[in-house]
Chains A and B, each alone.
Chain A
């Protein structure tokens, strides 16, 4: 099977972010004074554990970013854009049932009329096509699940132990959480080979697969937004604080106008207009995936355009303070050019504010995506995200008996991601904030 790689817009931006991240990491590693606050982050067990959880999410997100299209016969491409993650999770993706089924169930969730072996019509729960094949009844299912949990956990623990030995992990909290995560991974993997671990949704798709796919959308919303926020806030904030005068007035005017509009309304207005533009230009996208993807990128850009004002104000204030410092005054009296003062003396000294604000914003952006999708100005309805999952599952709560697993998985995954991001952000802030006393 041959394939061609596909780079969607969001993929390109993610690659850009990853490259920037790696470059920054290399730069920081070479400079001891930049490394120091990161060492403080490394001392906190909470930070390391949350980083571990985050890196699991990041791994799934990155695997889901490597897109490709399968080459069919005669040099034609399949219209479906797949990712490496889709390939790895192929059983999950392709095992589509008829409709709802509960987690680890072997039958559908509602009774249907069927013909039994004697040709009579009976009402019973139909068996699932792909879950619990060869299992006869619930008791046998329980035994099989217990066996799989056992072997999965054992394999996971072995793998985790191996990683701990290889990477020489010394912190106990990290080692324990690594073992827990790998055990959980092993159990889920082993169970998902034979069951729908988190059930299936209305159209029979595996909820675990959907939840894992949602991770990428959340990560992109949280990180690509940075690409807009960062340059705007940095250039405008530093320029306003350093040059003062009319530059300051103009920049202050722009961000006061933007921030005086309630953000949800501004986002809604911008997204509505984006929808009109995309509907009137259908020629911009060749596949449904690229259309949904472009909408995601635009959404991130719009979120960035509306959220840079806070950081800009902070940076302006800090620059106002810095420009009166003696070392800047000294540089000025030596005749150092403004550009050089800005790039050598001011920007490096406001970096900690940028870093803190970016990591703090990440989690709120992930949460905002769900709300915006509910309001109807979020990602494309065809794109898998926490917001669209919640939106689709919201009305299922009114069913009797209640279908809870789609909502529970979406909220569960989102909570894990956001909690880990929040805890990590707190540690970063504690390590970088110069206002905190440290001995």
Chain B
């Protein structure tokens, strides 16, 4: 399995190179550093000196890909591509516009993100699967139909509504928990409850319906008929056989997102004032801080690829027939 993982990691390299080239093209070729400087400094009254100073401060005063002026390896390394884009491979994300070290920000900000995203993910998973199992158990009855109808309505509601409505109802009208904020330790709990609750509710519609489809597909298979013929109760069939066999499709959709939990959720974090990576990204977008956005894009795809590898490993854990070699 180690050999397999190493090979997968090598496969990941060209994909990350692609992501890197794509972001480089987006951020430096579509618009030159000159355009960005003009944008940052204001479009109208801007002198060439001011642009040059801005580029010098940010380290954008180099050629894009190839530096004729430099000597030796400097021809490659003394360029924007090498210093701003390729450097992300050794996780050197550089500095944001306000002069902070992006890598350090990421290291401190991923924990608040995780504090919200992980409980949401776990609670959601348990709840959605249980709800889907109940619907499957009562399939083709009124209860199932009502459940599906509820799911369709819930998934047609905008995610913004859940957040705004939840904040209004629970924090403003009922004063149960603070509207927004964050703190570490035990007292941080009251800040976490509402975002987690809203996160779980907003996912019910699409997730439960998806799990129900998976379970129903399994219910139609031959081994279920055999299990019933053996005299197993419907609940027994569902929990011991169907749930286990549905693990592969469930894992396919679920495990990929686990590494991405570190990135947090843009919406939740900005509405609840959580100092995580999601709100970091939103602030960067609003302040047009391109180096942070670039770093997040790269980090996001890195974590996604890690998630794909994790998915493969998880298959071997639930299905003995799957061997990675």
Any A CB within 8 A of the CB of B155: yes
Given that A253-B14, A264-B266 are known contacts, is A422 also in contact with B158, CB under 8 Å in the complex?
no
Instruction: State in angstroms the CA–CA spacing of A398 and B172 once bound together.
Output: 8
- Across the interface, which residues of B come within 8 angstroms of A426, CB to CB? 152
Task: Tell me which of A375, A411, A419 contacts B285 (CB under 8 A).
Answer: A375
B285 adjacent to A390 (CB under 8 Å):
no
Instruction: State in angstroms the CA–CA spacing of A402 and B294 once bound together.
Output: 39
Any A CB within 8 A of the CB of B183: no
- Across the interface, which residues of B come within 8 angstroms of A419, CB to CB? 152-153, 156
Any A CB within 8 A of the CB of B35: yes
B263 adjacent to A262 (CB under 8 Å):
yes
B158 adjacent to A276 (CB under 8 Å):
no
Closest chain B residue to A394, Cβ basis: B164
As a 0/1 sequence over residues 244 to 288 of chain A, the CB contacts with chain B under 8 angstroms (1 = contact) are: 000000000110111011101110111011011101101000000
Instruction: State in angstroms the CA–CA spacing of A187 and B260 once bound together.
Output: 49
Given that A262-B263, A375-B282 are known contacts, is A270 also in contact with B26, CB under 8 Å in the complex?
yes
B290 adjacent to A272 (CB under 8 Å):
yes
A407 adjacent to B164 (CB under 8 Å):
yes
Query: Distance (Å) between the CB of B280 and the closest chain A CB?
Result: 12
B19 adjacent to A257 (CB under 8 Å):
yes
A422 adjacent to B156 (CB under 8 Å):
yes
Given that A256-B15, A367-B159 are known contacts, is A422 also in contact with B152, CB under 8 Å in the complex?
yes
Any B CB within 8 A of the CB of A354: no
B contact patch SS = helix
Interface size on A, residues (CB 8 A): 45
Task: Tell me which of A253, A273, A390 contacts B27 (CB under 8 A).
Answer: A273
A261 adjacent to B266 (CB under 8 Å):
no
- Across the interface, which residues of A come within 8 angstroms of B155, CB to CB? 422
- Across the interface, which residues of B come within 8 angstroms of A307, CB to CB? none
Task: Tell me which of B39, B157, B263, B304 contacts A411 (CB under 8 A).
Answer: B157
Given that A253-B15, A262-B304, A375-B282 are known contacts, is A269 also in contact with B297, CB under 8 Å in the complex?
yes
Given that A265-B293, A279-B43 are known contacts, is A260 also in contact with B15, CB under 8 Å in the complex?
yes
Binding site for B on A (CB under 8 A): 253-254, 256-258, 260-262, 264-266, 268-270, 272-273, 275-277, 279-280, 282, 363, 367, 370-371, 374-377, 386, 390, 394, 397-398, 402, 407, 411, 414-415, 418-419, 422-423, 426
Query: Which 3 A-B pairs have CB atoms at the shortest separation, nearest pair first?
Result: A257-B18, A419-B156, A262-B300
